[in-house]
Amino acid sequence: MKYQPTNAPQPARNVRIVLLAALLLLTGGPLPAADWPQFRGPLCNGVSDESGVPITLDTNKDLAWKAELPGRGLSSPIIIGDRVFVTCCSGLKQQRLHVICFRATDGSKLWERQFWATGRTLCQSKTCVAAPTPASDGQRIVAIFSSNDTVCLDLDGNLIWFRGLGRDYPNASDSVGMSSSLLIAGGVVVTQVESDSDAFIAGLDLATGANRWKIERPHKANWTSPVLVGSGKQEIVVLLSSAGLTAIEPVSGKIVWESAGGGSSIPSATTGAGVLYVPSSRGLTALQLGGSDEQPKQLWQSSRLRPGTASPVVLGEKVFALSDGGILTCGSAVTGERQWQLRLKGPFSATPVAVGHFLYCVSETGVAQVVDTSKPEGEVVSELNLGETVLSTPSISWGAIYFRSDAHLWKIAKSST
Amino acid sequence: MTGHFARILIILGWVGAACGAQPPETAEFIAAIKNVGPEGRGNIEAAGAWKKLAAGDASTLVPILEGMDGANDFALNWLHAAVDSISGRVLGAGGSLPWSDLGAFLLDTHHNPRARRLDFELLAKIDPATADKLLTGMLNDPSMEMRYDAVQKVIDQASLLLSASNKAGATLLYQQALNSARDAEQIDGIAQKLQELGQPVDTLKLFGFLTHWKIIGPFDNTGRKGFAAVYPPEERIDLSAEYDGKKGKVKWQDYLVTEKYGKVDMNQPFGKLKEVTAYAATDFFSDRAQAIELRLGGMNSWKVWLNGKLLSGRDEYHFNSELDQYVMPAQLQPGRNTILVKVCQNEQTEDWAGDWDFQLRVTDSLGTPVFSTTIGPNTSANIARP
């Protein structure tokens, strides 16, 4: 019931299927998922295993399309086959919630559904009600908003269920705005809703929206998103909060391990090669993951690697922390030792995404910067000013990178893609 | 207002045959959807009905909109999505929507305000110019969104007059906008414009903030335990009583709000304390039983009781505040109604964590202030009356 890659854009899809099938035969490995089904992609780490994404960002040459959006949003686009899904909010007190589906190949709008918020919509002015990123299992998409309204639609926009979690559990919200993104695993939508006043993690049945399980969480404001690690029956969801880490079996909600000692409430944890990288007030901590029910072991902790709002990113043996002001710090993912720093044009809210050895970082002022991390001190090799405020983490799928602002969605891909 | 709509619609030929009855199947699907409730109740049945309902043609749009009457907020969203699906499919295929029926539905202000707004937006997709003209007559519409947009049109017109140095005309239009505005932010913007034009606005009366209070404190809130702790005022309001507070005996004292946004500032009488709790009480008199809303704003942890019944509370500190931040539907009884507010301050010492206050007003469901009718014999009543 977990995410399954679906239809790819035509005509690229058929070519890719042949190539990927050949790759599978040659390597015996799994097919890489080119869809981007949730916040920070298939592996919740912002890293794409694709090639062909433009390194030189140039809208004159490689702008596939630019679509207008009806309202604000910090949520990332998610991409399933030839469909791009985006959430927005608009109207009086941001009470209009939008889920929009675009065709990936040409940017045409296929459908739009609107909902009225049933929960609180008050947010700090920098964020908005469409802050959390939706998730998909490849057949359905589930979107949540800061009002904790949660909606499940099929890929054609047919409504499968609606939950007003803000109405069901009204104290589980805060006046800054909620932002934890969804995960889908084991037929369950993992929904993390944590505030000072009330907090819970719930497993909503993907088919019906009903609570399969619901667990009380520490009453602490938390804007991080859960991370999925492992696979199959070993799949666990790791939650990060200021209280520490909690690992949950998604099907049952059973807590399989917990690790106190504090953690971040804004940047999320990330994974790479069986290691969990956890931001906190002490910097970054690397934890070796064992079996699904095994307590992780600390590998290192570094106070010199300090992510700001953006979550850390791991590329091979390098780990990256981006400060709010725009200092990109590269460290060793093996030892935590700081290697180099590079000043980017900030400030930043969005988490970088990566392809190959390139990091794509987009500033709040809409300046997208591509960093070649293979250079000794890192180097910005391309820059594109989108000209609008961008707080949303980009998405990568089928050779394209997507950026979204409060007003537009851009698809940038090599013109042959 | 209704006559104004009718004239426009008749001129345009929108009002035609009366809406027909719901087709039996459509009615069944709508009924199944209206059974949805909290915690996902009824979702499975609703999903089946929704798919069939959303497969309907344009003639089902008005029955679905009518079906929103009496629907709960969960069902409203299911029905909204059905309207989106049908209208999107019909318009995408180059089809037309039932203008006459949609126009007639819009005219009937007894329908669900959100359904009418949705109906209006369908009309606006086809004929935005006429929809814009319709807004002119919606200054007092029961739909908050319609009213907001209608008021905004007047504000925009006033702004144009101001740009042309027509201060008298602009003042008149701003005053017209102010009479109809119900959104707190919009009201505030208009009030500021009028202030700039030399027309001072008494925001305390305009919003209907409760201004006359009795307050008592400080009680303890060490470790943020004061939110859950039950101090004597929660058990009984005795204005002559004296209690053990955090640092000695405490007793009720008068507090008169002077701050223009109705702030009851506990830092004023008690000093800038940390880890403390205080209470504020007032009487509010109503000439009849009536549904109202208590609307509270503030940065601190709080609870509100009406006539001894806890309405709501929020245990969070220093995140954000705005007018009408928390809206609590409630029922006033005829005569005296006692409102009790608990407001807690936590341990944070940052500059931005100094606020220890709240603002409260009584309104109808649209945000129109409701005023107390008399002054109470024993407690300080809200006497703000325009």
- Given a cut of 90, is residue A158 above it in pLDDT? yes
**What's B15-51 look like in SS3?**
CCCCCCCCCHHHHHHHHHHHCCCHHHCCHHHHHHHHH
CATH classification number, B207-363, choose in 1.20.140.10, 2.60.120.380, 3.90.940.20, 3.30.413.10: 2.60.120.380
C-alpha of A28 from chain center:
28
Residue A6 forms part of a structural domain: no
- Summarize the confidence of residues A301-312 as an average pLDDT: 97
Distance in angstroms (rounded) separating the CA atoms of residues A32 and A24:
9
Nearest chain A alpha carbon to B298: A175
Distance in angstroms (rounded) separating the CA atoms of residues A185 and A290:
19
Distance in angstroms (rounded) separating the CA atoms of residues A279 and A136:
26
Chain A interface includes B47 (CB < 8 A): yes
* Residues pairing with A99 in the sheet: A87, A113
Lowest mean pLDDT among A7-16, A120-129, B67-76, B335-344: A7-16
Q: What is the pLDDT, as a whole number, of residue A167? A: 94
Distance in angstroms (rounded) separating the CA atoms of residues B266 and B277:
9
CATH number at residue A233: 2.140.10.10
Find chain B residues with C-beta within 8 A of A123's C-beta. Answer: 320
Query: Would you call B315 and A221 a contact, using CB atoms and an 8 Å cutoff?
Result: no
Residues B71, B79 contacting (CB under 8 angstroms): yes
Residues B74, B38 contacting (CB under 8 angstroms): yes
- Inter-chain Cβ pairs, chain A and chain B, closer than 8 A: 109
Find chain B residues with C-beta within 8 A of A209's C-beta. Answer: 40, 43
Query: Would you call B84 and A113 a contact, using CB atoms and an 8 Å cutoff?
Result: yes
Q: What is the pLDDT, as a whole number, of residue B288? A: 96
- Given a cut of 90, is residue A6 above it in pLDDT? no
Residues A202, A225 contacting (CB under 8 angstroms): no
**pLDDT tens profile A252-278:** 999 999 998 889 999 999 999 999 999
* Residues pairing with A199 in the sheet: A194
Coil vs helix vs strand at B83 = helix
Coil vs helix vs strand at B185 = helix
Residues A202, A213 contacting (CB under 8 angstroms): yes
Domain locations in chain B as residue ranges: 2-137, 145-201, 207-363
Query: Would you call B144 and A92 a contact, using CB atoms and an 8 Å cutoff?
Result: yes
Residue A5 forms part of a structural domain: no
* Residues with Cβ within 8 Å of residue B218, at least 6 apart in sequence: B245, B246, B247, B250, B266, B270, B273, B276, B277, B278
Find chain B residues with C-beta within 8 A of A221's C-beta. Answer: 316, 319
* Residues with Cβ within 8 Å of residue A178, at least 6 apart in sequence: A131, A132, A146, A147, A148, A193, A195, A223
Query: Which residue, chain included where needed, has tokens 């030839």?
Result: A82
Q: What is the pLDDT, as a whole number, of residue A290? A: 85
Helices and strands of chain A, counted as H and E runs: 3, 33
Distance in angstroms (rounded) separating the CA atoms of residues A236 and A254:
10
- Summarize the confidence of residues A106-132 as an average pLDDT: 96
Query: Would you call A210 and B51 a contact, using CB atoms and an 8 Å cutoff?
Result: no
Q: What is the pLDDT, as a whole number, of residue B10? A: 46
Q: Which of B43, B114, B322 sits opposite A209 (nearest CB)?
A: B43
Residues A386, A405 contacting (CB under 8 angstroms): yes
Q: Which of A162, A195, A211 sits opposite B316 (nearest CB)?
A: A195
User: What angle, 0 to 180 degrees and rounded to 10, lies between the N-to-C axes of helices B73-92 and B24-34?
Assistant: 140
Q: What is the pLDDT, as a whole number, of residue A3? A: 55
Instruction: Give the single-character DSSP code of A44.
Output: T
User: What angle, 0 to 180 degrees and rounded to 10, lies between the N-to-C axes of helices B2-12 and B128-135?
Assistant: 160
Find chain A residues with C-beta within 8 A of B90's C-beta. Answer: none
**pLDDT tens profile A162-178:** 999 999 999 999 889 99
| Closest-CA residue to B36 (of A125, A309, A168, A111) | A168
Min Cα–Cα distance to chain B from A209, Å: 6
Chain A interface includes B32 (CB < 8 A): no
Q: What is the pLDDT, as a whole number, of residue A234? A: 81
Q: Which of B40, B78, B148 sits opposite A210 (nearest CB)?
A: B40
Q: Tell me which of B29, B73, B78, B301 to substitute to probe the interface with A (most A C-beta atoms closer than 10 Å).
A: B73
Per-residue tokens: B109:
């202000």
Find chain A residues with C-beta within 8 A of B40's C-beta. Answer: 161, 163, 204, 208-211
pLDDT in tens, chain B (386 residues): 444 555 454 444 444 433 445 667 999 999 999 999 999 999 999 999 999 999 999 999 999 999 999 999 999 999 999 999 999 999 999 999 998 899 999 999 999 999 999 999 999 998 999 999 999 999 999 999 999 999 999 999 999 999 999 999 999 999 999 999 999 899 999 999 999 999 989 999 999 999 999 999 999 999 999 999 999 999 999 999 999 999 999 999 999 999 999 999 999 999 999 999 999 999 999 999 999 999 999 999 999 999 999 999 999 999 888 899 999 999 999 999 999 999 999 999 998 899 999 999 999 999 999 999 876 544 444 444 33
Query: Would you call A111 and B322 a contact, using CB atoms and an 8 Å cutoff?
Result: no
Query: Would you call A196 and B76 a contact, using CB atoms and an 8 Å cutoff?
Result: no
**Number of C-beta neighbours around residue B288 at 10 A:** 9
Q: Which of B81, B314, B317 sits opposite A113 (nearest CB)?
A: B81
Coil vs helix vs strand at A11 = coil
Q: What is the pLDDT, as a whole number, of residue A27? A: 37
Query: Which residue, chain included where needed, has tokens 């780490």?
Result: A45
Q: What is the pLDDT, as a whole number, of residue B24? A: 73
- The CB-side HSE value for A102 (13 A sphere, CA atoms) comes to 26
Q: What is the pLDDT, as a whole number, of residue B374? A: 77
Chain A interface includes B43 (CB < 8 A): yes
Give me the sheet containing B253-256, strands edge to edge. Answer: B253-256, B212-220, B276-286, B335-345, B301-306, B309-314
Q: Which of A122, A157, A159 sits opposite B47 (nearest CB)?
A: A159
Q: What interface predicted TM-score (ipTM) does this complex get?
A: 0.91
- Summarize the confidence of residues A71-86 as an average pLDDT: 97
Does residue A11 have a cis peptide bond before it, meaning omega lies within 30 degrees of 0? yes
Q: Regarding predicted confidence, which is higher, B254 or A33? A: B254
Q: Are strands A244-248 and A255-260 parallel, antiparallel or unpaired?
A: antiparallel
Distance in angstroms (rounded) separating the CA atoms of residues B44 and B127:
37
User: Which run of H or of E encompasses A318?
Assistant: strand A318-322
Q: Which of B43, B84, B325 sits opposite A208 (nearest CB)?
A: B43
Residue A373 forms part of a structural domain: yes
Percent of chain A with pLDDT over 70: 91
* Residues with Cβ within 8 Å of residue B20, at least 6 apart in sequence: B59, B101
Query: Would you call B148 and A92 a contact, using CB atoms and an 8 Å cutoff?
Result: yes
Q: Are strands A47-48 and A353-355 parallel, antiparallel or unpaired?
A: parallel
Residue A169 forms part of a structural domain: yes
Q: Are strands B276-286 and B212-220 parallel, antiparallel or unpaired?
A: antiparallel
Residues B262, B295 contacting (CB under 8 angstroms): no
Coil vs helix vs strand at A34 = coil
DSSP string, A185-207: ETTEEEEEEE-SS-EEEEEEETT
Query: Would you call B320 and A113 a contact, using CB atoms and an 8 Å cutoff?
Result: no
Distance in angstroms (rounded) separating the CA atoms of residues B185 and B324:
10
Asked whether the CA dihedral A240, A243, A244, A248 is positive or negative, the reply is: negative
Chain B interface includes A109 (CB < 8 A): no
Q: What is the pLDDT, as a whole number, of residue B23? A: 67
* Residues with Cβ within 8 Å of residue B46, at least 6 apart in sequence: A161, B32, B33, B35, B36, B75, B78
| Closest-CA residue to A301 (of A273, A274, A350, A262) | A262
Per-residue tokens: A320:
């990256």
Which residues numbered 13-72 in A keep a CB inside 8 Å of some CB on B? none
Residue A4 forms part of a structural domain: no
Find chain A residues with C-beta within 8 A of B315's C-beta. Answer: 171, 196-197, 219
CA end-to-end span of chain A: 30
- Given a cut of 90, is residue A371 above it in pLDDT? yes
Residue A306 forms part of a structural domain: yes
Residue A99 forms part of a structural domain: yes
Per-residue tokens: B190:
């208009």
Q: What is the pLDDT, as a whole number, of residue B380? A: 47
Asked whether the CA dihedral B24, B25, B30, B33 is positive or negative, the reply is: positive
Q: Which of A111, A175, A196 sits opposite B325 (nearest CB)?
A: A175
Chain A interface includes B148 (CB < 8 A): yes
φ, ψ for residue A227, nearest 5 deg:
-125, 140
Could you give the number of structural domains in chain A? 1
Domain that holds residue A191: 12-413
User: Taking all residues of chain A, what is their mean pLDDT, rounded to a whole number?
Assistant: 91
